[in-house]
Amino acid sequence: MNNNTPSQLSRRNILRSGGAIVASGAVLAACGGASHSGSIARIGSVPEIDKLETEHVSDVVLLRTAMSVEKMVATIMKDSRVTSLAESSVSPFLAKYAAAHETNMSVLAPLVTARGGQVVNEPNAKLMTAYGENALNLVEEGKTAGDVLNLTLGLESLVAATYQYFVSLTNEAALRADMMRLGAASSRRAAVAAQLIRGGTVGFSPAINEKGEELTATLPSAFGTLSAVQVVLGPVNEVGTRSPISMDTPSLNSMLY
């Protein structure tokens, strides 16, 4: 039985129904084509997608990245925002530490060139952007002599952690030995910095200072931690705390290929 009235079977309704049938036919045709070709039907052209390049982390890449980290640490330690706040008893240590990292660069340079690589004389730009500049700005804003040693301890711990991480990626046994020696030297400097913060035998156990901040023990639990190095710097904010800086070792996007 047909319930449509003559008014419902108007020209407009017929055209509307016809358009729907045509549109449905187009969809079915597209789906039918997709079932044969195995791809989804598209309207218009699709640009080619460039595949991401896969970079190989070679020994040269590790050596070049290590040079950039050494240069970054030396640059931060020699920055006037740090040296101007260092106490007279700390300044000699700061200068010697910066010089040691410059010396490490001269040790790494021939290892790079001997393997066909190009030496690095600039700080690691991505790490400086990630936390280096922020750390310097916080030290300047805080105007606290204690931040100099806190930052020094963090930087030396970072270098030790970097070399420990790189040892696991290095192919040549001789290079692994070199990296272990460089990392161990930074680990020793970190222990000295921690002793300057809290000296004597009490420095070998964790403690809390008068501000409620945890003091780092000078006795390392490993050659170098593989977790991010945490440093608290800068002025006290409105909630009574200071800014924590998380310093990570180089990752795939901050290595120098």
pLDDT in the model for residue 53: 57
pLDDT in the model for residue 227: 77
Task: Enumerate the β-bridge partners of residue 208.
Answer: 214
59-254 — its CATH code?
Answer: 1.20.1260.10
Tell me the pairing of strands 243-247 and 229-233.
antiparallel
Question: Helices 173-197 and 146-167, interaxial angle, to 10°?
Answer: 160
What is the Cα Rg of the chain in Å?
31
CA 194 – CA 200 distance, rounded (Å): 10
Q: Give the predicted TM-score (pTM) of the model.
A: 0.75
Q: What is the pLDDT along the chain (257 residues), one digit of tens a residue?
A: 555 555 454 545 544 555 555 455 544 444 555 445 555 665 666 667 665 456 789 999 999 999 999 999 999 999 999 999 999 999 999 999 999 999 999 999 999 999 999 999 999 999 999 999 999 999 999 999 999 999 999 999 999 999 999 999 999 999 999 999 999 999 999 999 999 998 877 666 667 776 667 666 555 555 555 679 999 999 998 888 899 999 999 999 999 99
pLDDT in the model for residue 14: 47
244: buried, middle or exposed (CB in 10 Å: 19+, 13-18, 0-12)? exposed
CB 104 within 8 A of CB 182: yes
CB 183 within 8 A of CB 167: yes
The pLDDT tens digits of the residues spanning 75-93 come to 999 999 999 999 999 999 9
Greatest C-alpha distance within the chain: 104
Q: Which residues of 206-235 are buried (b: 16+ CB within 10 A; e: fewer)?
A: eeeeeeeeebbbbebeebbbeeebebbbbe
**Residue 2 token pair:** 């047909």
Q: How distant, in Å, are the alpha carbons of 19, 22, 24, 25, 209 from that of 12?
A: 11, 15, 18, 20, 84
pLDDT in the model for residue 32: 52
pLDDT in the model for residue 226: 65
Sign of CA dihedral 108, 96, 247, 195: positive
CA 74 – CA 146 distance, rounded (Å): 19
Angle, vertex CA 75, rays to CA 224 and CA 211, nearest 5: 60
